[in-house]
A and B are shown apart, each in its own frame.
Chain A
């Protein structure tokens, strides 16, 4: 069974540029999460989806970050414009329900210059 797929794995951009990350969860998983992980720290939740509905986006900086999961399957996280402090690893995870174990993708490492 394929795991959580994310692309790109690495992205280098200049500040003020836009960037987008894509995630395809494990087939059948209705819950999808986006996390941000800074170096040497644990992941921090940005947004959680139940199917196509964003049910927890309280930690998403909405002035520059946006996310969508239009058909309740794959998801895109966007930053526009990117700032130097956005350099981090962006992890996507999915689960088969809100009580179950989360499976993580390999992440996208973003470097903003």
Chain B
């Protein structure tokens, strides 16, 4: 089975940096995704890691360590519009499971002025 843990909520100040950690225990691994979800809206894709290391995309970066079952999403130069939930999702490595994503509970980030 899959078990994915991430903090429930984080608060940060506009312009600061926030790091959202995600740990996972899975029966297979074929990639980790981060999605952003504003209240009442659809999750939107932020990043994808399948190899160890850091992927940088503008103000957002995502890191993966497969040996540790660990990822983080780093949000820099926080803006008020970054207030949202951030979902960590792991894709199973079992071919029969296809592209099945298992999501963590999401981390709600509140950016304060």
Contact = CB atoms under 8 A, between A and B. Distances in A.
Interface of A: 3-4, 31, 40-45, 48, 50, 55-56, 91, 95, 97-107, 109
A42 B89 contact: yes
Contacts of B40: 109
Interface string B86-113: 0101000000011111111110100000
Interface of A is mostly: loop
Chain B interface extent, by class: 20 to 34
Interface in B27-80: 33, 35, 40-45, 48
Contacts of B103: 42-44
A71 B81 CA distance: 39
Contacts of A43: 43, 87, 101, 103
7 contacts: A31-B98, A42-B104, A45-B102, A55-B98, A98-B99, A107-B42, A109-B40
